[in-house]
Structure 1
């Protein structure tokens, strides 16, 4: 028999449990913020868990899936898959629609995700076709476009930690899946065709679906079967170059105990990259948004994204945050400048960190500032 305190502690990973057991959290109790964060992440998670717990305190659950599915990675090649089910009915699309999360608080996003209960059914990735009815229905649910009524039965009551990872949106409680029934499902015809065409390569299918305007999150879901950020995008009419520079203030997710702003980034030239970006998936999420914009304009550019993350970003919510905020930035009317000096002078008014620090570590900014073009000579 597990106590309530044991269930609460199970919400956190080993490092967090060690911090709790050290006594620091007892001294603080969410009031003094001794961990250096702007808000207590324990209270944020606890609040979300307490709102959901009474509704999932049973082994049978029914609700409207956004639709959403879970495909795990631990234990590969034998991984857990299953539906994500909230204990509520109606329009639940917001719970699994990162494209709609821009402007919502971190508390909102954690609440969205902690409402979704993960049904866990283990399957071998090389033998999915023989995974049984639960796997078949999970794959079908992944193709849905509107909320679908779902009934599930678990081997035990759902419990477990709210999973927080910087590369994926948060996940909520889970339980081994015993039964899975799916109601009427509205399936996107393009997704259905793409996944059933055995002659179509996955790469080509993804590009086709993306070209048809399907949200990235829906494509990811089918093929997987920020409010505290400031993003400034600089585009210079030069051959393709791309760079993302991030600046994390003290008391933020990846700089919780620091006294100084920490900056890091990565870049690529016209030939692209041959190695994985050191700053991870956010590099590629932002690059997608840039590529979309340039494709629409039928242009290429040397592009630098400057991201300042201020106190308040206390837990990861996934690379969608970067992708959607860069998209949002690019939807704004651009400011046009006739020289890099004017551009840099304007950036000084929009950023808290001195531009000298950005220029000092930016390969692309240094290139466009110091590399003269034929137009420069013609102007003289």
Structure 2
């Protein structure tokens, strides 16, 4: 989705006092409130801290990108450090606290070609940090003092202060899980198989993102850095495809199931339909939400049928794959397959994009609730409409999967659909 161009002077004229951008909070002020503790620490060109571990690989000027570990200005080995870059455990936190977590991490960066993984000591040390499963104490020397700013991205969590990296030293012993050692050392193991192996051994999606992004997975000759925003989608896509192959062997669910959950002004209504696997994600961005400064809501839709997609979900983008992963995880857990339709409403309280983890975790939590069960699609849609601001008729008009399922009836569906 393309963000409409606003008057570039609007923030200067407003300074957060009149909310001329139409948001319910000024994102600049929210960021500054979180950055204040960093200013008080007086970060200079030298930094001593424990990386969670964390890395960020940019995408601008690809294949010559900015890459480097992210380090807070504090030392520690506890969960308060790990949590700084572990979105899998952020669900339920308010937006100010989330932004505060991210502004506590300094993004260090040096320029590298994505293929040059062995020509730099900085790269070697960065990869050592990322392989660890506990925080790694580091000593960092920066070219200049960090720029106190926040960068937002629809795929990855917000990025805090940034500075070019001059020197990097590891001052503790990185503790590496043997399973990570195994896949990194295997020069013939494809990245898709490595990701699946680690996921099945309870590594979080964030763990997998880091390893893939740092160029540590895959056949040795093909390894390269993967920009963080790309690696996030690649992991969601790869893992969910692997699960889809499994759930296609399961029986279909017997009833229509409706789930609902809301977090950070993102409202999700999910309908599981007793049919063969297919998936659709439809979004409605309300006026003045993060990506819609217009005066009316905007809708976007992507879907796939049983055989899957052949191209990128360019309308819903990374959120599509994050939601699909959560859905497939649930179906695998109950050993069933189904079609799935997701309706997502994004309201004005979602003032800045926080990354697709919001989608993944909110949908995951939805499946922890007891669903409402129905015998017909019409009844399920009627129930879903109770949780939505936009009339169901608009959702159905936008949906391609619902139209397809109603049209492509099977003999076994006759009694299910005859009254719809």
Question: Structure 2 length normalisation: TM-score?
Answer: 0.81
What is the number of equivalent residue pairs in this alignment?
360
Identify the residue that residue 296 of structure 2 maps to in structure 1. Answer: 260
Give the Å deviation of 1:148. Answer: 2.1
Identify the residue that residue 48 of structure 1 maps to in structure 2. Answer: 34
CA contact (8 A) 2:43 2:73 kept: no
- Cα 1:56–1:181 change in 2 (3 A) is farther
Identify the residue that residue 53 of structure 2 maps to in structure 1. Answer: 67
Matches within 5 A, 1:9-28: 19=8, 22=9, 24-25=10-11, 27-28=13-14
Q: Deviations over 1:237-285 (max 9, x none)?
A: 10111100001111101112x2222111111111111111122111111
Alignment of 1:121 onto 2:107: no
Alignment of 1:348 onto 2:385: yes
Q: Deviations over 1:73-106 (max 9, x none)?
A: 2232222222111012233111101111111122
Matches within 5 A, 1:1-380: 19=8, 22=9, 24-25=10-11, 27-90=13-76, 91=78, 92-132=81-121, 134-159=122-147, 161-182=149-170, 183-225=172-214, 226-256=263-293, 258-278=294-314, 279-377=316-414
CA contact (8 A) 1:73 1:79 kept: yes
Q: Larger deviation: 154-163 or 312-321? A: 154-163
* Cα distance in 2 between the residues matched to 1:219 and 1:55: 32
| Structure 2 residue runs without a partner (length 5+) | 215-262
Give the Å deviation of 1:160. Answer: 5.1
Give the Å deviation of 1:26. Answer: 5.0
CA contact (8 A) 2:55 2:68 kept: yes
Give the Å deviation of 1:140. Answer: 1.1
* Cα distance in 2 between the residues matched to 1:186 and 1:318: 28
Give the Å deviation of 1:49. Answer: 2.4
Q: Larger deviation: 323-332 or 44-53? A: 44-53
* Cα distance in 2 between the residues matched to 1:341 and 1:301: 17
SS of match in other structure, 1:163: coil
* Cα distance in 2 between the residues matched to 1:154 and 1:343: 57
CA contact (8 A) 2:43 2:145 kept: yes
CA contact (8 A) 2:35 2:148 kept: no
* Cα distance in 1 between the residues matched to 2:173 and 2:211: 18
Q: Deviations over 1:178-197 (max 9, x none)?
A: 22122122212211211111
* Cα distance in 1 between the residues matched to 2:210 and 2:374: 41
| Structure 1 residue runs without a partner (length 5+) | 1-14
CA contact (8 A) 2:23 2:348 kept: yes
RMSD of Structure 2 on Structure 1 (CA): 1.9
Give the Å deviation of 1:137. Answer: 1.4
Identify the residue that residue 253 of structure 2 maps to in structure 1. Answer: none
Question: Structure 1 length normalisation: TM-score?
Answer: 0.89
